[in-house]
Structure 1
Amino acid sequence: MSAEPTLTARREDGLDIPLLVWRLAVPLLAISSAPLGGGIGVRHWIVNATVPMSYRRDDPDVHLTELAARERLGGPGVGLLTGVDVAEVVSAEEGGVRVWATVGLGDPIWAAAPPAAAASGPGTVNIVVCLPVRLSPAALVNAVATATEAKAQALWDLGLPATGTSTDAVSVLCPPDGPEAAYGGPRSEWGAPLARAVHTAVRAGGGTGRGSGMPWSDRLR
């Protein structure tokens, strides 16, 4: 995986809208909750795209496929959307595990909120994790849970009574070959540094001046 994503932009509705693109040097095994490329499989690229808060498309997978085509990205990939400026991506690394997070906290929620609870504003936390070793299928699932727990801990540390937002997404990538690490929990060999790196990135992204949840489109006013 490249050391850093490339920040670019695309022209839509008369606006230059930011876009992060990871061009993977080699395809990686991924588990993801993204609207494009979700599930488990080998992926060739990742896109994290800012969208205006007026976004109303009900086919985000098609939209992200179009964005990937504009960038000439081939093969299956992972596509993420957010209402915040992806230029504010925060990265962290620990023990060979690399994490990138774009943090929008305009609508922090409890996951187990009552049915009557309604979203009050924009908010998306997108997390991309890259590990240097292959994880077993079970460990990949566990790694997603570990990343989510670490995100929730970061929000608590930021003073937010919340576990995340209603539109968060996590993507964990690792080599598709080699000996498998069997565990991805927060006290495992690879889950522990993963958790700390996610916590660092989300907490930094949600700190003063970053991740405030201000929609990207609001910054144009």
Structure 2
Amino acid sequence: MPTDPRLTTRREDGRDVPLLLWRLTEPMLAVSSAPLGGGIGVRQWVLNATVPMSYRRDDPDVHLAELAGALGLSGPGVGLLTGVDVALAETASDTGVRVWATVGLGAPTWAAAPEPCGPGVDPVHVGTVNIVVCAPVRLSDAALVNAVATVTEAKAQALWELGLPATGTATDAVTILCPVDGPSAPYGGPRSEWGARIARATHRAVLAGGAAERQPEMPWSVRHDR
């Protein structure tokens, strides 16, 4: 199981910009929709990096790899980006499951919105809800995929309870970590043993993040969309 992430910074345009870094004590199996290290595989670290709301790089995987290299990270890992100050991450737990969420709601949207982007239209907006989940038991590949849906449903439930007419933002990302070895839990749905715990912890973290008061804008133009 990873310990709490370490808050660190990088120097950018003469200012210190925050990053959250999980250095895993041992490699873990991950499923992720992150721009770096997405898919299913064994990962050794997770990085959640704040970027300006004006961020428009079209190679976030390359950018995250550069940030990881500057931090001395090696081996495969997961890299996430957000316009939120990651120092404001919310965390919640439920019977062994840990969840961390950075909740940026500056560009909320419905999943089934009509024609959100046409060909050649830049879809990037980094308000972003990033969710990192750690389960203490091995989840089967199917359960990992199912758990991604469960996390997304719990996030949408929290936004509904906040009165927000949206299911998320267009750039939300999920990362779920579990041990590489051990008997595999077969299910990750919201009424399964581990899926229910993941859902409850995710719901609490996103609800807390979304309900937090808006913070003052930082000098490096990162808006705290909470």
After TM superposition, the structure 1 = structure 2 runs for residues 3-82 of structure 1, keeping only pairs within 5 Å, are 3-82=3-82
Partner in structure 2 of residue 161 of structure 1: 165
Query: Normalising by the residue count of structure 2, what TM-score does the alignment of the two structures yield?
Result: 0.91
Fraction of identical pairs, as percent? 72
- Shift in Å at residue 12 of structure 1? 1.4
- Shift in Å at residue 74 of structure 1? 1.3
Question: Could you say what secondary structure the match of 1:123 adopts?
Answer: coil
Partner in structure 2 of residue 144 of structure 1: 148
Question: Could you say what secondary structure the match of 2:193 adopts?
Answer: coil
- Shift in Å at residue 213 of structure 1? 11
Q: Across the two proteins, how many residue pairs are aligned to each other?
A: 219
- What do the CA deviations read for 1:10-36 (whole angstroms, capped 9, x no partner)? 011222110000000000000000000
- Shift in Å at residue 171 of structure 1? 0.3
Question: Could you say what secondary structure the match of 1:191 adopts?
Answer: helix
- Shift in Å at residue 95 of structure 1? 1.0
Query: Normalising by the residue count of structure 1, what TM-score does the alignment of the two structures yield?
Result: 0.93
Question: Could you say what secondary structure the match of 2:57 adopts?
Answer: coil
Are 1:109 and 2:109 an aligned pair? yes
Partner in structure 2 of residue 125 of structure 1: 129
- What do the CA deviations read for 1:131-166 (whole angstroms, capped 9, x no partner)? 000011100000000000000000000000110000
Structure 2's unaligned 5+ residue stretches are none
AA matched with 1:94: D
Are 1:203 and 2:214 an aligned pair? no
> C-alpha separation between the residues in 2 aligned to 1:208 and 1:128?
19
- What do the CA deviations read for 1:174-198 (whole angstroms, capped 9, x no partner)? 0011100000000001000100000
Structure 1's unaligned 5+ residue stretches are none
- Shift in Å at residue 60 of structure 1? 0.7
